[in-house]
């Protein structure tokens, strides 16, 4: 369970299996249902059509299907590596049934404990392991505090004497703090405060309350949080003083957002007073930095800068933190304050040199990116050349050059870039200048700049490709070819660039340009045939069937001349895959029988089966799936797709009837959840396969 690679649990909900490109013929698999959910998976789980339109004509059917999923989920062994508890709980939460979602989470406690035990056994332990944060996001999206306490009770009951004294308490502290922060981030402040109240450690309690700054909080809950913070007793613990001040600043921001100006001012003042109680200058500065940032977030720039001036240049805020503060000012349009911060950073001689240099670089970048390259250049030129940090000055000047280019001041940009050392930073500057020229329609000027790019660390080819694509987007064939010709031919990079650009411009309707680019790829190459097949698809979709047919015929003739069996397989597979994309299944199937290598043949038949399923032809999809040899998972993926399409067509009974044919109970629950999600969608999804008139 814990050692498995984790796929995107919800990446395929609604959108279906990704369209399979004949250039790669990727194998489609049944969407995985994992025990653990990655942060990006959970963060990405949002059903906007459900959340914004809670009433669906199929809502009753959706609830019925979810009930089936829940009953089946109760039979799943929590040792399973494919475990759909998270997705089932999250869908219940999304449709406004948090109590039922919490019930689902309770089914997973043994599995969650196993994950936590695994994390505890790693070298870094729980404090450095991401599983706690991921579980916290999952529980927070459900939004009920009760499952959190069920989990901490389970930790108490399941961690035995093999763990050192105090480890259970430490684990619970880590879990509760992460949960509280996640609940605040999800806007579930009331439940978050219930969790905070259970945290015994003073520092952890304060750190959890800092999460209040993540979202707006009602005044009544801010009042409750304030009472909790006031109860924190630092004693001899200097960390608690800092955390208490930081938490107060977060609560003050909550008051400010809620329009409670008087309470905000009083709480900010209290945070400032607590910071003054810090045991040393470093701790005080740490607390005051947080207050400054909260004032900025509350748009009280004057007061925030008063604090900055107060503690600099005597008690120095870290130059890097100052640079971060400057970025906040810049984002709010307070450039005059940014310039003053720049002066402070430059004068911060008492700080560590490398930290100071990084701070100056960040300031330069901020000023340049917000449209003041002249001032940024002045500061960058004053950066001292340190033998171990010379790259910072180079990087800063590259950013400045880019800023000049984006504002159309090309001469200044070129002058700066020319003085940089050949390498990564100079290439970054040349890239920005060349792309700026391309966007302005000055293609020849851009091409001249592209010639200055060196291939240090192999990054030059990637830069040249981007510049060439910009020229192609501007429909300048000669400049595009000139730049692509600079790309190293090693490993097929140059022909790959020609092909990728050809496909992209074809998809935008510029077929003549695409064909000319594809013709630059060497003949007797399977890749050339793949590219032309994709151009034919674009032509067919645009209604130019005669020209599409011509390219298909020429591609087949070229494929017949390939002697290498692997190249022949990939070429014919690409042509057949292209026919599949435009629903020309009979032609695709005929070609499929001529593919020499079984692997390519299997990939094509799977692609065809999915295509049939998306077009609503379930019988043909299953027949095609049966032609795949040696891989039962492919048939599961096809049945999954048939069920998905049936649900999208409103035939939920048929979709549910297919579920027992998909894998084990875990996979079946995952499919039921997806079908239910479709049922809760008020607007029927659009068909995923666009079938075209037959090509002759």
HEC states along 30-42?
CCCCECCCCHHHH
- 440, 413 contact by CB (below 8 A): no
Cα–Cα–Cα angle for 100, 106, 107, rounded to 5 degrees: 100
Under 8 Å between Cβ of 192 and 211: yes
Angle between helices 424-439 and 410-418 (to 10 degrees): 160
Res. 693 pLDDT band, cuts 50 70 90 = low
pLDDT in tens, 234-282: 876 788 999 999 999 999 999 999 999 999 999 999 999 999 999 888 8
Bridge partner list, 34: 82
Question: From residue 165, how far is each of 132, 155, 162, 170, 214 by CA, in Å?
Answer: 21, 14, 9, 10, 35
Range 36-53 average pLDDT: 43
- Helix, strand, coil shares of the chain, percent, nearest 5, are 70, 0, 30
Phi then psi dihedrals of residue 584, to 5 deg:
-95, 70
Q: Which of 60 and 14 is assigned the larger pLDDT?
A: 60
Altogether, the residues listed in the chain come to a count of 696
Helices within 561-687 (DSSP H only): 565-581, 585-592, 598-614, 618-626, 632-648, 652-658, 665-679
**Alpha helical stretches, state H, 159-237:** 167-185, 189-196, 202-209, 219-230
Specify the DSSP element, H or E, that contains 270.
helix 261-275
Q: Give the other-Cβ count within 10 Å of 425's Cβ.
A: 22
Residue 527 in this model has a pLDDT that exceeds 60: yes
Residues 6+ apart with CB under 8 A from 352: none
What tens digit of pLDDT does each residue of 276-323 get?
Answer: 999 888 899 899 999 999 999 999 999 999 999 888 655 567 788 888
User: Can you name the CATH fold of 421-522?
Assistant: 1.25.40
pTM of the model: 0.80
pLDDT digits (tens, 9 = 90+) for 349-395: 555 677 778 888 889 999 999 999 999 999 998 887 765 667 888 99
| pLDDT(13) > 50 | no
**How far is the C-alpha of 560 from the C-alpha of 550, rounded, in Å?**
16
Whole-number pLDDT of residue 388: 60
- What CA–CA distance (Å, rounded) separates 171 from 173? 5
Whole-number Å distance between alpha carbons of 320 and 452: 33
């Amino acid at each position: 369970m814990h050692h498995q690679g984790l796929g995107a649990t919800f990446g395929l909900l609604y959108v279906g299996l990704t369209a399979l490109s004949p250039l790669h013929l990727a194998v489609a698999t049944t969407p995985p249902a994992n025990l653990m959910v990655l942060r990006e998976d959970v963060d990405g789980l949002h059903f906007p059509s459900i959340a914004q339109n809670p009433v669906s004509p199929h809502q009753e059917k959706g609830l019925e299907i979810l009930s089936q999923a829940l009953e089946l989920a109760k039979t799943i062994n929590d040792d399973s590596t494919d475990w759909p508890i998270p997705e089932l709980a999250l869908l219940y939460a999304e449709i406004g049934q948090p109590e039922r979602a919490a019930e689902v989470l309770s089914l997973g406690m043994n599995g969650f404990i196993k994950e936590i035990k695994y994390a505890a056994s790693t070298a870094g332990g729980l404090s450095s392991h991401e599983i706690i944060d991921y579980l916290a996001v999952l529980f927070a999206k459900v939004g009920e505090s009760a499952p959190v306490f069920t989990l901490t009770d389970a930790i108490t009951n399941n961690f035995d004497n093999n763990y050192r004294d105090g480890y259970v308490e430490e684990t619970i502290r880590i879990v509760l703090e992460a949960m509280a922060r996640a609940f605040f981030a999800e806007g579930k402040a009331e439940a978050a405060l219930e969790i905070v109240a259970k945290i015994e450690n003073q520092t952890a309690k304060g750190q959890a309350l800092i999460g209040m700054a993540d979202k707006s909080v009602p005044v009544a809950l801010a009042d409750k949080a304030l009472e909790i913070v006031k109860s924190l007793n630092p004693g001899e613990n200097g960390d608690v003083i800092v955390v208490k001040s930081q938490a107060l600043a977060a609560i003050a921001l909550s008051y400010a957002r809620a329009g409670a100006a008087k309470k905000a001012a009083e709480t900010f003042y209290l945070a400032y007073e607590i910071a003054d109680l810090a045991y040393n200058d470093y701790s005080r500065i740490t607390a005051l930095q947080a207050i400054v940032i909260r004032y900025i977030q509350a748009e009280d720039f004057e007061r925030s800068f008063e604090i900055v001036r107060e503690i600099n240049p005597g008690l120095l805020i870290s130059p890097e933190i100052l640079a971060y503060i400057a970025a906040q000012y810049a984002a709010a349009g307070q450039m005059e304050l940014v310039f003053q911060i720049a002066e402070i950073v430059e004068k911060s001689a008492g700080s560590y040199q490398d930290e100071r240099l990084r701070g100056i670089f960040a300031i330069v970048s901020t000023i340049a990116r917000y449209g003041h390259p002249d001032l940024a250049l002045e500061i960058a030129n004053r950066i001292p050349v340190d033998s171990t940090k010379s790259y910072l000055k180079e990087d800063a000047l590259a950013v400045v050059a880019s800023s000049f280019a984006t504002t159309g001041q090309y001469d200044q940009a070129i002058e700066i870039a020319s003085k940089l050392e050949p390498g990564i930073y100079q290439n970054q500057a040349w890239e920005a200048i060349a792309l700026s020229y391309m966007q302005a329609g000055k293609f020849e000027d851009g091409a001249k700049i592209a010639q200055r790019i060196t291939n240090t660390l192999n990054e030059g080819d990637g830069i040249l490709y981007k510049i060439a694509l910009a020229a192609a987007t501007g429909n300048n064939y000669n400049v595009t070819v000139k730049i692509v010709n600079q790309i190293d031919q090693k490993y097929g990079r140059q022909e790959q660039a020609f092909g990728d650009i050809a496909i992209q411009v074809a998809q935008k309707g510029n077929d003549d340009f695409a064909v000319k680019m594809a013709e630059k790829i060497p003949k007797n190459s399977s890749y050339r045939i793949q590219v032309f097949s994709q151009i034919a698809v674009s032509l067919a979709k645009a209604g130019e069937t005669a020209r599409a047919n011509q390219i298909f015929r020429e591609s087949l003739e070229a494929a017949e001349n390939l002697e290498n069996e692997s190249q022949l397989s990939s070429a014919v597979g690409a042509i057949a895959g292209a026919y599949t994309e435009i629903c020309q299944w009979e032609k695709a199937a005929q070609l499929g029988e001529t593919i020499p290598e079984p692997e390519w043949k299997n990939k094509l038949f799977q692609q065809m089966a999915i295509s049939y399923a998306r077009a609503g032809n379930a019988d043909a999809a299953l027949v095609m799936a049966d032609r795949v040899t040696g891989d039962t998972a492919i048939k599961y993926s096809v049945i999954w797709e048939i069920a998905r399409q049936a649900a999208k067509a409103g035939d939920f009974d048929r979709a549910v009837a297919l579920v027992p044919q998909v894998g084990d109970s875990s996979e079946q629950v995952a499919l039921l959840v997806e079908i239910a999600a479709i049922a809760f969608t008020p607007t029927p999804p659009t068909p995923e396969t666009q079938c075209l008139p037959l090509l002759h």
